[in-house]
Amino acid sequence: MANFSLLIKPASGDCNLRCRYCFYLPKRELFGPGAHRMSAEVLETLTRKFLSVPMPVHTFGWQGGEPTLMGVEFYQQAVFFQRRYGATCGPIANSLQTNGTLLDAAWGRFLAQAQFLVGISIDGPAELHDISRLHGDGRGSHADVMRGLGVLREHRVEHNVLTLVSHANEDHAETVYNYLGELGVNYQQYIECVEFGPDGQRQPFALSPGKWGEFLCRIFDLWYPRDTRRVSIRLFDSILSRLLTGAPTICAMSGDCRNYFVIEHNGGVYPCDFQVRPELLLGNILTTDFSALQQQEKYRCWGQQKNPHQAKCAACRFLPLCMGDCPKNRHGGLSYLCEDWQVFYQHTIGRFEELAAALSAEQQAMAAAAQKPGAVPRTGQAAAPGATSGAVAGPQPGAYSGPPVGRNDPCPCGSGKKYKKCCGK
Ligand X SMILES: C[S@@+](CC[C@H](N)C(=O)[O-])C[C@H]1O[C@@H](n2cnc3c(N)ncnc32)[C@H](O)[C@@H]1O
Contact 263, 418 (CB under 8 A): no
Give the one residue of 221, 318, 357, 362 binding ligand SF4; rule: CB under 6 A: 318
CA distances from 21 to 134, 204, 396 (A): 10, 9, 38
Stretch that binds ligand SF4, among 20-28, 208-216, 220-228, 388-396 (CB under 6 A): 20-28
Q: Restricting to residues 327-346, which ones interact with ligand SF4 according to CB under 6 A?
A: 327-328, 335, 338, 341-342
Distance (Å, rounded) from C-alpha 91 to C-alpha 165? 33
Q: What torsion, rounded to 10 degrees, do the Cα atoms 203, 209, 212, 218 define?
A: -130
- Tell whether residue 164 is a contact of ligand X (CB under 6 A): yes
Q: Restricting to residues 189-208, which ones interact with ligand SF4 according to CB under 6 A?
A: none
- Tell whether residue 253 is a contact of ligand X (CB under 6 A): no
How many other β-carbons are positioned within 10 Å of the β-carbon of residue 182?
9
Contact 341, 322 (CB under 8 A): yes
Stretch that binds ligand X, among 42-50, 188-196, 297-305, 396-404 (CB under 6 A): 188-196
Contact 7, 261 (CB under 8 A): yes
| Residue of 273, 289, 340, 409 with catalytic role | 273
Residue 3, phi-psi category: left (phi > 0), alpha (psi -120 to 50), beta (remainder):
beta
Distance (Å, rounded) from C-alpha 267 to C-alpha 45? 9
- Tell whether residue 17 is a contact of ligand SF4 (CB under 6 A): yes
Output Rg (C-alpha) for the chain, integer angstroms: 21
The answer to whether residue 137 is catalytic is: no
| Contact string (CB under 6 A) for ligand SF4, positions 354-393, x = contact | ----------------------------------------
Nearest to 230 by CA among 185, 173, 190: 185
Stretch that binds ligand X, among 61-69, 172-180, 259-267, 308-316 (CB under 6 A): 61-69
Q: How far is the CB of 87 from ligand SF4 (least distance, A)?
A: 31
Residues that bind ligand SF4 (CB under 6 A): 15, 17-19, 22, 24-25, 64-66, 99, 133, 251-252, 257, 259, 272, 274, 306, 308, 312-313, 316, 318-319, 322, 324-328, 335, 338, 341-342
Q: Which residues bind ligand X (CB under 6 A)?
A: 15, 19, 21-24, 63-64, 66, 97-99, 121, 162, 164, 191, 193, 195
